[in-house]
Structure formats: structure tokens, C-alpha cells
Structure 1
Amino acid sequence: MKAAVINGFGEIPQYADFPDPVTGGNEKLVQVNAAVLENFDKGTSADTHYSSKTLFPKFPAIVGNDGVGITENGDMVAFGAVKPPYGAFAEKAAAGYAFLIPEGIDAADAAAILPSALTSLLPLKYAARLQPGETVFVNGATGVSGRIAVQIAKILGAGKIVVSGRNQASLTLLKTLGADETISLMQDDEKLSENITAAGGDNGYDVVIDFLWGHPAEMLINTFIPKEAGFAKRRIRYIQTGEKAGPHISIPGSAFRTSGLEMMGVGKISNEALMEEINVIWQLIKEKKLYMDIEKVALKNISEAWQRTELAGKRLVIVP
């Protein structure tokens, strides 16, 4: 079969022949229809993600962690947990898990929208426990996952959504997707702090979902430091989701003591809750309530697609 193959960490995948996967145990053989190209795939194959050596214990190997395809009995499924050295960017995959996709959903939509939607829905609903009417700040909303986060927050009943980002065209688009106020990160630190504080209003922010980390996170968190002594007047549930602006930040202790700031990740999610939310997302996709700019790229062009950097909020989906 044809596949996107690397012979070592940090290589650009090449379109090449690779032996067909052999299934064992409960694995399912899947004819791949679509697999989304995400930063996770680039990070794991570059050995910059903590799971890299688990996903790539030996080489040569195929990149890609999950996707959408057709099983031997003709069902269209979302699949993952592929067995090394096999990956999702191939004509066939050996899937450790596969769950049915309802009829009426395009394979590319299923592959691209589901993981991004879960990235926002699970932490907002189960970790931060977003309540109707609360104010949400989406840090780095101009990317693919950030755009979806705005839409998910709106669906969950957020009363006000403030977003930040660098791409002005994407910031403008976000107004149509549910954002109430937009803040450009292309301004000096003093002005940025003023605008973040002003957009939060008298009551500030209840929930933050952050796709950037790095310096933008430092600027945002510093605005939470109270100006007067006393106990915290509110809770700020801060979800750390991505690190496009850098993997490390410096936080003063005063940002925690009486601000009400609570830092969290996705949190513990039960399998029952996960499947329930997957079904919710399938329904949202069928009802066309989640917008994503998707571009399909042929598997044979994987090397070219891998090196693209300026996507302006577009998600690339690899199709064999």
C-alpha cells in the first residue's frame, strides 16, 4: 500500500510503499478515507511530544494517529490507537478502536471537526463546568481549534465571549461565529493589558481556554492580579489547551493568591461521557452548527502539505 513514511524523528514524511498492516486481537482493518493533519502529528514525529517514543518505537514508520475509514463489513468509522509502525496517513490502517459514524456525515468533516470539537467541549463542560451566562475568554481563537472553541462556548450558553488572535481577517470572521469582542495580539503589552481588562467588564472572566500559552498567557494572567487586598471575589477557571506561543511561562505568585485563578487541563473524562459527547458532536455536524474551513489534500502530496505553515485557520485533511 501507499503511505506517508518517515525513517527517523524530524523527517518530512515521504509518499512511499509500505507493507499492509496485519491485525491482531481486537484490532480492525480499516480502508482509510480521511485523516486530519494536526500539530500533534508533527510534534510526535519530531520527538518533541511526550508520547513520541511510544508512538514511534521503531522506524520506518507511518505518521498519523487517527482518522476515518471503512471497515471490512462496510461501516464508516472514526478510528484510532493505530499499532506502530502503522499510522493513519496510509491507504489502510490497523485500528485499536473504531466507532460508527452516523449516516449523512462527510468523512473529511468527521475526521477534522470531531477532535477539535472534543478539545473544547470536554474541558469547557467537564473541567471548567461552564455555566449559562458566564463570560469566556478564548486565547488564540483565530486558529482552527480556537474557532471551534468559540462555537462550542456559544452552544454551551456562554453569555459573553471575548477572543484574542493575530490574524485580523480571522478575528472579523469570529464575530459571525459567536464572539462578542475581539482583541488583536498585534499591539504593545500595555495596550493589550488595557484591552483585555476592559473587555472583561466589571465582573471579569469566568472561564479561559488557552491555545497559545507563552507570552500571551503571561499578559492575560497578569491582568487577573487584584489591585486591592482581600479574598477572591470570583473564580477564574483557566484551561491550558495548547502552546502555539511557547511551552513555558512565568507566573508571579500574586496571580494566584487572591485572584480566584484556578489552572486546569482537560481533567478526567469517563468513557461513557466521552461517547455521549461524541454523539452530541455528530449531531452538531449533521445540523451544520459547527463551521470549519477544510481543505482536502491527496496522500501523494503529503510532503508538501506537511511543510505548509500559513494556513489562516484552515484544516488540512489527507485523503488517500
Structure 2
Amino acid sequence: MKAAVLHGFGENPRYEEFRKPNPGEGEILIRVKAVALENIDKAMAKGTHFASRQFLSELPAIVGFDGVGETPDGRLVGFGGVKAPFGAMAEWTVVPSNYTVPIPDGVDAITAASVPSSALTALFPLKWVAGMKSGETVLINGATGVSGKLAVQIAKMLGAGRIVGTGRNPESMKRVLEYGADAVIDLKQPQEELTETFRREAGEGYDVILDFLWGSPTEALIRSMVPDEIRLAGKRTRLVQIGEKAGETIALSAEMLRTTGLEIYGGAAGLTGETMQEGTNMVWDWLKEDKLRMDVDVVELRDIERIWQRKDFEGKRIVIVT
């Protein structure tokens, strides 16, 4: 069979022949239909992810850890639980039978592979971590990314009163406005100007912040919340930290916490099986009702070497199809 095969950490996967897997006891053979190419796939292949050698325990191996495919009886399912050397980016893979979930009727393989995980990355922090209430002001810091664009749409469906996004790419910032944001802040401004823009767009203050960036943009954001005179903080601002695209660390002074009413949570705080199931059902319903949109580039498996080296994914999900 054809597959995207990694021969060594730090190399690019190659499109080549690989032996077809045979399912063992408790396993099921999957005819792969669609697999999303995500940053974690590249980090694993580089060997820089902490779990690289756990999931790629032998080389050569096929890259990719989950996807959407067909079972031998023709059912469309999402799958995970792949074990080296048989990853997801191949014509066939095998997974434990209990690592498959049915894809609802009306949802195609490409949509099922590209949207749900990113939608949950936005939905769970909004609904369960921050507990967003109808009418609240929401800031999506990093709204031009895949999950950021979905976060704008989901915040709107959950009843946000005002939505502010941030980004750098002009075309992507226009898309964020089309998806329902009331304003978009350009992060390319000098730091002092950026801080003032955050302050101005906040109005009476941000209630919920989803932070996909961290680093200097988040420093400017938190600095904008510090009052310039002694007063009661009044508002509680719930910041949910999800990503670190702009940097791994920030300078957080005691004053920033003491005077702002800022509360910081991790993106997976309180995650349970029940909330995951409820959130997944919500996402499936939105997809069947065509309420979530995503910019997707569909790429043939044979082009894996070319697409692996691309860097201009701004706000798009890359989906590999076989």
C-alpha cells in the first residue's frame, strides 16, 4: 500500500510503498479516507515532542495518529489508537476496535477529519472552563488560526454580546470579521500602541479571553487591563490559556494580577468524559446544520512531501486524502 513513511526523526516523510497491516485480536482494519495534518504531527516527526518516541517507537513508520476511514462493513468512523509502524497517513491502518467512533449521517470524511477537534479546542474553554454567559464580551487572541476562527463562530452561537479577535494576516483578519467578530486587532502594531488598542476595544472590559498565542501579545493584553488609578477591579476576567504560538513565557507582574481581576485557567481544566461527549454532540449537530465553517486545503497523499514543507497555512486546515 502507499503511505507517508518517516525514516528518521527530523526528516520529511516520503510517499512510498509500505506493507499492509493485518488486524490482530481486538483490532479492526480501516480504509483511511481523510487525515488532518496538524502541528503535533510535525513535532512528533522532528522528535521534539515529548511523546515522539512513545508514538513513533520504531522506524521506519507511517506518520499520523488519527483520522477518518471506513470499516470492512462500510461504516464511516473516526479512529485513533494507531501503533507504530502503522500510522494514519496511509491507504490502510489498524486500530483497537474500541478506538473508533461513528460519524453521523450527513457529515463527510473531510469535514469529520478537519473540524471537530479544533472546534472542541474552542468550545470546551468557552463553555466549561470560562463558563461564558450570554451577552459577555469575548476576546479571541489568535483569531486568525484554525481554532481561533472556529472560536469566533462558537462564541457567537453561545450568545456572546461582543467578540474581538486578534491577528496579523490582513486576509485572515477579514475572514474573522466575516465569521462574526465585531472587531479585529492587528498585532503588528508597536507594543505600546497594541496595549492602547486592547484597552480601547475592551469597552467596559473583557469577560472571557481565549489565548492561543501567549508571548508578547498576551503581555500587552494583560498590561492593558491594569488601571491607571486606584479603584476596585470590579470585573472578573477569565483568561483560558490554550496555545503558545507567540512564545512559551510572559512577564507577569504581581500588579497585573492584583489590580485587574484577572483569572488564568489552563485550556483542559476540568475536562471530563461527560463534557467531552456533550461537546462532541454539540459539534456534530452544528456540522449537520451547516453552522460551522472552516477554510480547508485538500491534498492527495501522494503530495505529502510537498505539503509537509509548506509554511503558509495561515488559518487553513490541511487534510490529506487517500
- 1:58–1:226 Cα change, 3 Å: farther
- Alpha-carbon deviations, 1:28-65, whole Å to 9, x = none? 32110000011121122222223222212221111111
Show the counterpart of 2:245.
Answer: 244
Answering whether residue 195 of structure 2 is matched by residue 188 of structure 1, we say: no
Residue matched to 1:295: 297
RMSD: 1.5
Secondary structure of 1:223's counterpart equals: helix
Letter in structure 2 aligned against 1:33:
K
Q: Which amino acid aligns with 2:64?
A: G
1:26 is displaced (CA, Å) by 3.6
Look up the match of 1:128. 130
Aligned residues: 319
Query: Cα deviations across residues 171-228 of structure 1 (Å, max 9, x unaligned)?
Result: 1121121101111112111111111100001x21111111112211221122222334
| Amino acid paired to 1:105 | V
Does the aligned pair in 2 maintain the 1:28–1:98 contact within 8 Å? no
Give the equivalent residue in structure 1 for 2:213: 212
Structure 2 Cα separation of the partners of residues 44 and 194 of structure 1: 39
Q: In structure 2, how many angstroms separate the alpha carbons of the residues matched to 1:132 and 1:28? A: 44
- Equivalences for residues 79-228 of structure 1 within 5 A: 79-96=79-96, 97-201=99-203, 203-228=204-229
Partner Cα separation in structure 2 for residue 53 and residue 218 of structure 1: 34
Query: What residue is the counterpart of 1:44 in the other structure?
Result: 44
Other structure's SS at 2:163 match: strand
What stretches of structure 2 of length at least 5 have no aligned partner? none
Query: Does the alignment pair 1:65 with 2:65?
Result: yes
For residues 107 and 15 of structure 1, what CA distance do their matches in structure 2 show?
Answer: 22
For the residue of structure 2 that corresponds to 1:54, the secondary structure is helix
Report the Cα distance in structure 2 between the residues aligned to 1:236 and 1:47, rounded to whole angstroms: 37
Counterpart Cα distance in 2 of 1:249 and 1:63:
33
Give unpaired runs (5+ residues) of structure 1.
Answer: none
Structure 1 residues 61-108: Cα deviation after superposition (integer angstroms, max 9, x where no partner)? 111111110011211011112112221111112224110011111110
Divergent runs of 4+, >6 A: none
Are the equivalent residues in 2 in contact too, given 1:164–1:183 (CA < 8 A)? yes
Identity over the aligned pairs, expressed in percent? 49
For residue 35 of structure 2, what is the amino acid of its counterpart? Answer: A
Of the structure 1 ranges 51-60 and 75-84, higher mean CA displacement relative to structure 2 is found in 51-60
SS in 1 for 2:150: helix
CA distance in 2, matches of 1:44, 1:227: 45
Deviation of 1:313 after TM superposition, in Å, equals: 1.8
Calculate the TM-score normalised by the size of structure 2.
Answer: 0.94
Q: So what's the TM-score if we normalise by structure 1?
A: 0.95
